[in-house]
Chain A
């Protein structure tokens, strides 16, 4: 069975600074996807970034980038130039690349960006 662990329940960062959220996972699969979702107070789940396990290059989306370490089963999210609108819960998620299209979510990290 797959598991996703987020060891930081809460974090804070000053506006314009950089923060890194941690995520580790466990799987015996060789092909899979990893995701970071953002859930602001509005409750909407918003996809931030996706990484395919077969790709060695780390995914980036504007101010968001990941550090994917497949051997270590680590998938951290870096947010650069943090903005007040980044305040939200962030969930790391895993999905096998075949079979059931089922996300396995971590427990989330609550990020607060301070003015």
Chain B
């Protein structure tokens, strides 16, 4: 299996620009999670989906952040407009519905907003 795939691996953008991060979960997995990792806050869950439906978005920091999952094999996390404090590593993870405690992480996207 290819594992969870994220793109891009690195993204550098200027403040105010729109940023889109992409994730392809492991085939057959029903849950998809988006996490953010910063020095200040550590690893925190932003949102997760079950069968393409958002279940818990309480971790999304503000309205500038949005996430979609149009089909079982693709999800996006969008930041519009981006700000320097959004600089972080963003991880996507997926799991089976009956093993949601066992999440497989992608390699992450390092986002730098200047």
Interface size class of B (residues with CB under 8 A): 20 to 34
The 10 A-B residue pairs with the shortest CB-CB distance, nearest first, are A45-B105, A101-B100, A105-B43, A33-B101, A102-B45, A43-B108, A100-B56, A44-B107, A107-B42, A95-B101
From B42, B48, B104, B107, A101 is in contact (CB under 8 Å) with B48
**A residues with CB within 8 A of B:** 33, 35, 42-47, 50, 91, 95, 97, 100-103, 105-108
| Complex CA–CA separation, A106 to B43 (angstroms) | 8
Q: Within the complex, what minimum Cβ distance (angstroms) separates A110 from chain B?
A: 12
**B residues with CB within 8 A of A:** 31, 33, 35, 42-45, 48, 55-56, 59, 89, 91, 93, 95, 100-105, 107-108, 110
Q: Within the complex, what minimum Cβ distance (angstroms) separates A27 from chain B?
A: 15
CB distance B89 to A97 under 8 Å? no
